Chain A
Amino acid sequence: MTSPVFERVRGIAADVLQVSASQITPQSSPDTIGNWDSVHHLNLILALEQEFDTQFDPEEIDKMTSIERILEVVGGKVQQG
């Protein structure tokens, strides 16, 4: 998976979670990345909202528990926009 959206999400996740971009894969989640705690999760959500100029619903945020699931939500927003 190397879509442009994935690359943008990967860059943001790498910055916010303070790991190298190569460590971010679709399977990355709080279980695989040590830094990914609740504070970093909120920072990540806000950084994504800034980057894609959108606001996620609480239901969507609940779903965003891995990079793959973040991509599903963000992908839907980008298509709508």
Chain B
Amino acid sequence: MSLQIDRALLGQEFERVVIGPVTAEEILEYIAATAEIAAPAAGADLVAPPTFVVRARGNLFKPPRLGEIQLGFDAGKDIEFGVPIRPGDVLTSLATVHDIYEKTGRSGSMSFIVLRTVVTNQREELVAVVDQRMMYR
């Protein structure tokens, strides 16, 4: 039996956080951990790899009103990228509950919440829109 998620959560603000300033060390560590892009040569502009934006979130992994759950898993993401992230950027991340649905799969019944996070920088430029599908049971 899947978890019954209250559809009144739809559209509700999930979390708002401000992260940063992003440091060069954080970007370089992320590059080293992923090899997603090559680290720039000394003196060149440092730009974060695209998926660095997944760091721009708070510490909640489920809506506070969700109640008792056994397990939650990241089921997937859709990311629309805007301007790149650079050292010194201060990122504002606003997440809302974008969709709720149920489905069945090999592992049984599952409930999904899609969290939409809009990330902007200190110049109010769009950095990314991240749709994250969280699976709960």
| Co-complex (A, B) | no
